[in-house]
Amino acid sequence: MPKSIKDQLLENSILMERELSNCYPTNSCAHNGLLEAQRYGLLGGGKRIRSFLLLHITKMLGGNVDAAIPYACAIEMIHASSLIHDDMPCMDNDDMRRGKASTHKAYGETLALLAGDAMLIKAFEVAINNPHCSSATNSRAVKILTQCAGDMGMLAGQALDTVPSTDNISLEDLIKLHQLKTGQLISASAQLGCLAAGIDDQDEKYKALIKYAQNVGLAFQIIDDILDYNEGKRELNTFTSFMSLDEATRYAINLTEMGIDAISSIDDGTLKSLAEYLIKREY
């Protein structure tokens, strides 16, 4: 019997915890507090969806997972770095993250700011030094990461998200915001998974996987808003402020189905299970 998607995600979390931890050995940093703040913000939690998607795609396309692991670490580092900065008082001002104090509450704002910066740099360091790929491939990986994370990607989404919560934006802008803020890094995961397997961006499989990543990424965000709504949060500029719960749910299901359709001819079932798991999740 094939492993359930839940078990596969759990296995991936354990693998990534070890691999990410190995990127930060005791002597890897010239300042103890800066090392600890990074480890605190990076390790011990998270669903690791991005790295799971990346590594699974490499495997599914017949590539070597070892070659993909440094790219998976880089993606999780960029994501964690953005969360550390996102939680800071000048951004979302969140005291808690994944059931524990956010990094700036645990280590102070100064170290949180520097830890986010250092982790962002480490992501590129780990990707460019990937010992299993050629420098041309690693160079391509850094290009994908800079493009998807930078001011045409994730960071532009974060900037769009700083609209005061009393200002209305359009549904179109809300979709664009999330396509940038979360979608781009999920798309980067799919791109890097293909890259590590030697599949280039002209390949139909590549295009299909990007389409899957984009649709599932947006559905993920809609579910986030629904979960928040069900917890009693009634905020502007969320999918639940533009449509009813039923409509939002249907929208997420539609996106998920389009994503699954795009990859049906190459999927072994796991990507379908992942997409379905993500819209059924309860946290």
Q: Which residues bind a second copy (CB under 8 A)?
A: 28-31, 33-35, 38, 81-82, 85, 88, 90-91, 108-114, 116-118, 120-122, 124-125, 128-129, 135-136, 138-140, 142-143, 146-147, 149-153, 155-160, 162, 180
Least distance (Å) from a second copy to the CB of residue 70?
13
**CB of 38 within 8 A of CB of 118?**
yes
Least distance (Å) from a second copy to the CB of residue 83?
12
Our CB check for a second copy shows the closer of 51 and 130 to be 130
Least distance (Å) from a second copy to the CB of residue 112?
8
List, in order, residues 6 or more apart from 226 with CB less than 8 Å away.
Answer: 239, 240, 245, 248, 249, 252
Least distance (Å) from a second copy to the CB of residue 111?
7
Our CB check for a second copy shows the closer of 19 and 261 to be 19
Least distance (Å) from a second copy to the CB of residue 142?
5
Residue 3: how many other CB atoms lie within 10 Å = 12
Least distance (Å) from a second copy to the CB of residue 31?
4
Our CB check for a second copy shows the closer of 138 and 256 to be 138
Our CB check for a second copy shows the closer of 82 and 240 to be 82
Our CB check for a second copy shows the closer of 122 and 272 to be 122
Our CB check for a second copy shows the closer of 48 and 104 to be 104
